[in-house]
């Protein structure tokens, strides 16, 4: 066994020992994500509610994972109750829900927000919650019969609330919390978070804090009583619960990497594979010389470029344009090299140019005539004019 294989073997053993130590000393981490999943026993899952829901709705509960649009295309129902928890549904499904409300159904929507067009339809506004100083909120009801029924939220309350209340919206519940806006006065904020909205022959109940349905709060004192009080507003009739999970959350939990990380043995095998791959790449890269790139000497393409441009102009046969460019280039050199003003191509200009170049005044005058001709957009120019101007201007400068 050579030295390299010994090093690899020692490093592999060290990695295995470290992973074994981490496995022994690992502590269970509580998942505090707001997943609202009916199969999750984590604090903010809906496992307990799902288990007790049939008794809560007097054995008249129908669960479906179909979208409302698909469900109501396949089922024609008399007025009934509709339950939506943290809904993530499309616009067509919302139209089906509201159509059923108009025909006499009662809709219970429990979630932190709604689509903008649905909020406008219901005549409500749900602003983004202001920051609050401590993670605690108090929820209660406006009904005197329920004034002793309340729930204290001590974990991750959203304190979402409703504004722009119309006259036909009945306030059923509220949330109290301490806002950062009132830090100096230590003042409580009281906002509306549970309302009843008349809609056609039916109604829409909107509750903006779905946490009260989760495992954590249902197992707290007062949690079950608060839940029963919220649903006591629904009539005693068949209820359809659209138990649709968040597509984004579901997709993230079913990816191959997420599946590997959710199983401890596969998780550590995956980490061991990545660690070994990294070590292999590190030691293998040091043993091989990097490829030396071949750098070609830069080539001067100026002459080829000039020839290409010249051939292009020659093929086009635009002698007027070529004369104008030649004249423009000549005047530019006169300004830069001889410091002569070229705005007026008169006798004074010709004398100054003759003084600095020493050329005959007749040649200079002929060149000026051709330059003026090139600057005249209506002048008729021939190939002989171009050749003559090119010869004269080259002779002058």
CB atoms within 10 A of CB 301: 9
DSSP 8-state class, residue 115 = -
Could you read off the pLDDT of 167-185 as tens digits, one per residue?
678 999 999 887 664 445 5
What's residue 25's pLDDT? 63
| Low-confidence winner among 16-30, 74-88, 140-154, 234-248 (lowest mean pLDDT) | 16-30
What's residue 306's pLDDT? 60
Is-contact 49 227, C-beta < 8 A? yes
| 258 Ramachandran zone, left/alpha/beta (phi>0; psi -120 to 50) | alpha
**Is a pLDDT exceeding 70 seen at residue 353?**
yes
Could you read off the pLDDT of 56-90 as tens digits, one per residue?
999 999 999 899 999 999 998 999 999 999 888 88
Mean pLDDT of 181-199: 76
DSSP strand pairing (61-64 vs 202-207): unpaired
287-290-292 Cα angle (round to 5): 150
What is the rounded CA–CA span in Å between residue 169 and residue 122?
9
HSE-CB at 283 with a 13 A cutoff on CA atoms is 13
Which stretches within the chain are classed as H helix? 3-25, 47-56, 68-74, 91-102, 116-122, 215-218, 223-231, 247-253, 256-262, 264-287, 302-316, 319-338, 347-357, 361-375, 383-396
Question: Which among 225, 193, 242, 217 is positioned nearest to 87, based on CA atoms?
Answer: 242
**Is a pLDDT exceeding 80 seen at residue 304?**
no
What is the rounded CA–CA span in Å between residue 325 and residue 332?
10
What is the rounded CA–CA span in Å between residue 380 and residue 359?
28
DSSP strand pairing (150-153 vs 137-141): antiparallel
Q: Which of the four pLDDT bands, split at 50, 70 and 90, describes residue 188?
A: confident
Q: Which of the four pLDDT bands, split at 50, 70 and 90, describes residue 310?
A: low
Question: Which among 192, 178, 193 is positioned nearest to 130, based on CA atoms?
Answer: 178
What is the rounded CA–CA span in Å between residue 219 and residue 31?
17
79-83-87 Cα angle (round to 5): 130
What is the rounded CA–CA span in Å between residue 241 and residue 28?
33
Is 248 or 164 the better-scoring residue by pLDDT?
A: 164
Q: What is the mean pLDDT of the chain?
A: 82
* Structure tokens belonging to residue 220: 């707290």
Is 31 or 347 the better-scoring residue by pLDDT?
A: 347
CATH 3.40.50 assigned to domain 47-245? The reply is yes
Q: Which of the four pLDDT bands, split at 50, 70 and 90, describes residue 119?
A: confident
What residues pair up with 194 in beta bridges, in sequence order? 173, 207
What is the rounded CA–CA span in Å between residue 159 and residue 136?
9
Is-contact 51 41, C-beta < 8 A? no
What is the rounded CA–CA span in Å between residue 213 and residue 194?
14
Is-contact 342 334, C-beta < 8 A? yes
Could you read off the pLDDT of 355-378 as tens digits, one per residue?
888 888 888 888 888 888 888 888
What is the rounded CA–CA span in Å between residue 392 and residue 397?
9
Could you read off the pLDDT of 263-301 as tens digits, one per residue?
677 777 777 777 777 777 666 665 556 677 888 877 766
Domain ranges of the chain: 3-27+256-287, 47-245, 302-396
DSSP strand pairing (150-153 vs 169-178): unpaired
Mean pLDDT of 212-235: 93
Mean pLDDT of 159-164: 82
pLDDT over 90 for what percent of the chain? 31
Q: Which of the four pLDDT bands, split at 50, 70 and 90, describes residue 253?
A: very low
Contacts of 315 (CB under 8 A, 6+ apart): none
Could you read off the pLDDT of 2-11 as tens digits, one per residue?
566 667 677 7
**Is a pLDDT exceeding 80 seen at residue 106?**
yes
Q: Which of the four pLDDT bands, split at 50, 70 and 90, describes residue 397?
A: confident
């Amino acid at each position: 066994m050579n030295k390299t294989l010994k090093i690899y073997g020692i490093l592999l053993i060290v990695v295995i020992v470290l992973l074994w130590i981490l496995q022994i000393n690992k502590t269970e981490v509580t998942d505090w994500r707001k997943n609202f999943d009916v199969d999750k026993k984590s604090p903010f899952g809906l496992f307990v509610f799902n288990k007790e829901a049939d008794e809560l709705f007097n054995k008249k509960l129908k669960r479906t994972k179909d979208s409302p649009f698909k469900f109501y295309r396949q089922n024609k129902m008399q007025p009934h109750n509709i339950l939506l928890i943290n809904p993530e549904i499309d616009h067509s499904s919302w139209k089906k829900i509201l159509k059923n409300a108009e025909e006499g159904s009662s809709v219970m929507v429990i979630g932190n927000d709604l689509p903008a067009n649905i909020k406008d339809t219901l005549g409500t506004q749900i602003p983004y919650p202001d920051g609050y100083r401590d993670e605690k909120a108090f929820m209660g009801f406006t009904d005197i019969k329920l004034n002793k029924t309340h729930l204290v939220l001590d974990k991750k309350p959203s304190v979402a609330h409703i504004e722009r209340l119309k006259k036909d919206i009945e306030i059923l519940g509220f949330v109290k919390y301490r806002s950062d806006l009132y830090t100096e006065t230590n003042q409580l904020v009281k906002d509306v978070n549970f309302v009843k909205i008349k809609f056609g022959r039916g109604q829409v109940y909107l509750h903006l804090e779905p946490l009260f349905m989760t495992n954590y709060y249902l197992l707290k004192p007062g949690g079950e009583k608060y839940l029963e009080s919220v649903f006591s507003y629904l009539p005693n009739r068949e209820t359809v619960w659209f138990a649709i999970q968040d597509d984004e959350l579901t997709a993230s939990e079913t990816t191959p990497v997420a599946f590997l990380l959710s199983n401890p043995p596969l998780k550590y095998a995956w980490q061991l594979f990545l660690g070994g791959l990294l070590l292999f790449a590190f030691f293998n890269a040091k043993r091989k010389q990097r490829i030396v790139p071949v750098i070609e000497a830069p080539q001067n393409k100026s002459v080829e470029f000039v020839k290409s441009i010249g051939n292009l102009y020659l093929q086009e046969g635009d002698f007027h344009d070529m004369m104008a460019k030649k004249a423009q280039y000549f005047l530019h050199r006169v300004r830069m090299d001889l410091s002569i003003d070229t705005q007026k191509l008169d006798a004074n200009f010709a004398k100054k140019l003759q003084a600095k170049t020493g050329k005959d005044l007749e040649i200079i005058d002929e060149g000026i005539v051709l330059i003026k001709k090139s600057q005249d957009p209506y002048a008729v120019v021939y190939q002989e004019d171009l050749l003559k101007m090119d010869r004269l201007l080259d002779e002058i400068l």
